[in-house]
Amino acid sequence: MPKLRLKAPANVVADYFHLFVNRRAYTLQSNRPRPKSARHYYYRPKDRITGQGLSLTPDTIRRHLEGEITIGLYGNAIRGPLGIHRSAGRRFWFDGAEENVEAQMQYLNSVPKVNREQLTRLIAGKSMPPQIVRPKKLWCPGEPEFCILDHINTPLHTVGHNNVTRCPSCAEEGHDRSGDNLSISIENPRKYICWAGCTSDMIRSALGYPRVHVHVQNKEASNVKIWPDSNGLTRREIPSGGPEGDGLRG
């Protein structure tokens, strides 16, 4: 797509990073479509040596804006604004500015931003519709499992095999503005992870349901339940399932 290639100055890259990047994780849209579906799918780029997911850098943003690659940003790993859609073979611009990256970023920088006080006034007196609010399940220390879906009321969005929503621990610190740091396996909701690094203990404490830790002192106490002390999942893609007992618990 040579005719769609542009130049992105450093100041444009910096402004784009400030406006649109909430997390350093990102996806890439494939240059070639899959033969069966003819679709250009997104995938997580990884380091060839370590296998770890790559982090977003200003150079990645520059390549996206110039048309060399097309990236997806979180929330929901959607295609980054102003980049080339590999399937459509075109860019999609914001109305109100000329169709070049410098004019577009100047326009976006001029748009007033809603601050916390304004947002608080906008949502004052409003509540979630009762038909989509899940009833809270009271936490009992004697229960064998904790299902995070019973304790969150924020909207869920499906991405692949997972649901994503706002991380309650991040929210306590005023973070996760896009509301998608927490990823929960659809097949097994006991598996969940915050991509910003919050542990399951932090998440459960923010929800008001901290994990109960019971320590066995001797063999005679072997009939006492021991609660798993895990971080929900490793910082990789959430597995799609497995036997009932082999999943990590929140």
pLDDT in tens, 177-201: 888 889 998 888 888 899 888 888 8
For 172, the domain range is 130-221
Check whether 109 has a pLDDT greater than 60: yes
What is the tens place of the pLDDT at every residue in 3-39? 678 899 999 999 999 999 988 889 999 888 888 778 8
- pTM for this one? 0.52
The answer as to whether 179 is a domain residue is: yes
Other CB atoms within a 10 A radius of the CB of residue 37 amount to 8
Predicted pLDDT of residue 243: 33
Burial of 188 (0-12, 13-18, 19+ CB in 10 A): buried
What is the tens place of the pLDDT at every residue in 143-159? 456 778 888 888 888 88
Same domain, 105 and 154: no
Pick from 32-41, 92-101, 108-117: least confident: 32-41
Same domain, 101 and 158: no
Structural domain total, the chain: 2
